[in-house]
Amino acid sequence: MLVAVINNCGNIYSVDYALRRLGIEPVLTTDPKILSKADKIIFPGQGEASTTMQHLRESGLDQFILEWRKPFMGICIGMQLMCNHSEEGDADCLGIFDTKVTRFIPTSQREKVPHMGWNSIYNLQTEFLPANLENSYVYYVHSYYVALCKETVATTDYTLPFSAALQKENYYATQFHPEKSGSVGELILKKWLIEK
């Protein structure tokens, strides 16, 4: 099985390392010709929405992603760019998920932005997040969130309930970082890689 990682923004190497721990040697690339040979694609990263979308458009990866019909997973900003629009840089995004990305507004002094650290996921509604992970803790680093929507398949609370994961057809996405989420994240990646 060939797994490709879109090498378009930060945090690529923690994903590469997590996959190698699972016995997979991924290809890191932004070349559509190489990506087209993959069985599965992961779009991870940390970065700024409008800049990253510009890179996708300049390389033709925006259309490539929209036309891809095999399993595809977005992580963190990868998930956010799969939505319609992001407040970060007022960016029009890919529109795979019919929802928008909004900046957190703290409601108390205890709530810091970015939301960084461990938080629980609940209301799991997809086979790629096993039911026994209900209320498990995963790792987050983000200042923007995706509101709950029809494609929400897991929820987390921070200032308000938001989408921890989204799914539509062959597209999967997590706001949290499975590659940094210890044994829980490893199980999520393994299940997606083996069963999807």
Q: Minimal CA–CA distance to 176: which of 2, 7, 18, 3? A: 18
Distance (Å, whole) CA 99 – CA 86? 9
Provide the 3-class DSSP secondary structure of residue 140: strand
Residue 154 has, within 13 A of its CA and on its CB side, a CA count of 29
93 as an active site residue: the answer is: no
Q: What would the two tokens of residue 186 be?
A: 């490893």
Distance (Å, whole) CA 175 – CA 156? 10
Pick the catalytic residue from 83, 127, 177, 195.
177
For residue 91, the surrounding DSSP H or E stretch is strand 91-92
Q: Minimal CA–CA distance to 143: which of 182, 191, 106? A: 106
| Alpha carbon separation from 121 to 16, 49, 165 (Å, rounded) | 24, 24, 9
83 as an active site residue: the answer is: no
Residue 172 is which amino acid? Y
In this structure, what are the phi and psi dihedrals at residue 41, rounded to the nearest 5 degrees? -130, 140
Pick the catalytic residue from 25, 67, 76, 142.
76
177 as an active site residue: the answer is: yes
Catalytically annotated residues: 76, 177, 179
